[in-house]
Chains A and B, each alone.
Chain A
Amino acid sequence: MPSETLQAPTTLLAEITHRCPLHCPYCSNPLDLQRAEAELSADEWKRVFSEARALGVLQLGLSGGEPLLRKDLETLVDHARRTGLYTTLVTSGLGLTRERALRLRDAGIDHVQISFQDSDRANAERIAGITSVDKKVAAAALVREMGVAFSVNVVLHRGNLDHIGEIIELAASLGADRLELANTQYYGWATLNRDALMPTRAQLDAAEPVVDAAVARYRGKMQIIYVLPDYYSQYPKACYGGWGSVYIVLGPDGRVLPCHAATQITSLSFDTVRDHSLEWIWRDSPGFRAFRGDDWMREPCRSCPRKTVDFGGCRCQAFLLTGDARNTDPVCSLSPNRHMIDEALAVAAGIDAVPAYTYRTMPPATAAAARVKAAIGD
């Protein structure tokens, strides 16, 4: 596709750190998590936000890891808001003190999204791998007090889907303006835990009427967004309007991706804002151009009337499951590889004892860092 016909990007997700106190087994971060010393500086992030706004980006998500672990978060929010970006903080809530909440409000944060793992305390803390519920509830109260837009986000999976009614009531009791109920997508750490996380058809069938009733009941008070799991769909998801169409993700080290899972496509390489302008990366870099338009498509996508609807589905999922990112997303019922999905669903249906989670963990410190720690007696 010639770059003249490119539309402007609308959304930037900035994963400003991979550091996180939680260990959720479905984390969408890559398995090779980056340590603090690799992260962009505040000045580098500010430059990127200005460049993004000039390219046409309207929405900024400040995510992680846990973005509150960056002590300079407030200055990033202040800068983003000055450029006109609608700025969302995507947080676990851990680390949100009253002082920081007030500083974030004064800096102009538009919207705070706090994750919850379950309505059941013990299960929530088992999923997160850390004692965290009281801190999250306190953070939610602070966000309400700030008066900014407040969303609760809950990733759904086999281990909490049966509590969906209680989860919706929890979000309402916390005073959420919005509730995102997002079934797990199988990238990053979730790929390691697929058998433990995959819900059964019976669980999904039971959840649907509960969600439908709640959507109607809370209309005008709390907006409920329910994202179905693509493994149980007939057609794949239209990934952000197609590859390199409207969405940009930046990793902590400034690597620019068309999707947070794109680093898993090891046949591609992606450029960083340390070497190039965001505009060049968006318009001209090989990573972003790889799957624009439909020249790359194979059958059954190439001649399919749905190719302008779902763009062949997710390139990352195609690569992860088939080893070739040009293949049709195996979720599609027309894919010759759909059996891979059906086999995973059959495994989920047949499991009696759910396997233990492989928790998200940071890589060990380098030998050098370990020596420094030893030297200062830490």
Chain B
Amino acid sequence: MMPLTARPRLWRLARLEFDPVRNRRVLLYPEGAMLLNDTGGEVLALCDGTRTVADIGAELGTKYNADVTTDVATYLAKLAERELVHDAQ
């Protein structure tokens, strides 16, 4: 899990785009592209380096009326493992 106090932001080399061909968000980076599902795309869109993991969890939790903070932290840890997301602090 990524710590709840971390302030995740995308890798400097990565860019989030909406792909109208596949009708979903994609994370683009050198020599690669990750197709995102709706939730993954929403999480990454909030990774601006100022929001904490807890903030992102709370924001999406309100939207979906569910406790998603643990899922968000687990998902971001996986992306951090691949160096696609960093803690801005």
Contact = CB atoms under 8 A, between A and B. Distances in A.
Given A8-B21, A55-B21, A220-B83, A110 B26 contact: no
A88 interface: yes
Nearest to A86: B28
Interface centre among A8, A53, A88, A111 (most CB of B within 10 A): A111
Interface string A93-134: 000000000000000001101000000000000000000000
B21 A59 contact: no
B13 A178 contact: yes
Interface in A61-98: 84, 86, 88
Contacts of B31: 59, 88, 225
A207 interface: no
A149 B12 contact: yes
Given A8-B22, A223-B83, A84 B17 contact: yes
Given A8-B21, A111-B13, A58 B83 contact: no
Given A84-B17, A149-B12, A58 B33 contact: yes
A86 B29 contact: yes
A10 interface: yes
Nearest to B17: A84
Interface residues of A, number: 22
A162 to B, nearest CB: 27
B12 A58 contact: no
A86 B13 CA distance: 10
A11 to B, nearest CB: 8
B42 interface: no
Interface string A309-349: 00000000000000000000000000000000000000000
Interface residues of B, number: 16
B19 A56 contact: yes
Nearest to B83: A223
A146 B64 CA distance: 41
A230 interface: no
Nearest to B80: A220
B19 A177 contact: no
B12 to A, nearest CB: 7
A34 B30 CA distance: 28
A86 B83 contact: no
Interface in A1-43: 8, 10
A111 B19 contact: no
15 contacts: A56-B21, A58-B26, A58-B33, A59-B31, A84-B19, A86-B15, A86-B28, A86-B33, A88-B30, A111-B13, A177-B13, A178-B30, A220-B83, A220-B86, A225-B31
Interface of A: 8, 10, 53-56, 58-59, 84, 86, 88, 110-111, 113, 149, 151, 177-178, 219-220, 223, 225
Interface of B: 12-13, 15, 17, 19, 21-22, 26, 28-33, 83, 86
Given A8-B21, A84-B17, 14 more contacts: A8-B22, A58-B33, A59-B31, A84-B19, A86-B15, A86-B28, A88-B30, A88-B31, A113-B30, A149-B13, A149-B29, A220-B83, A220-B86, A225-B31
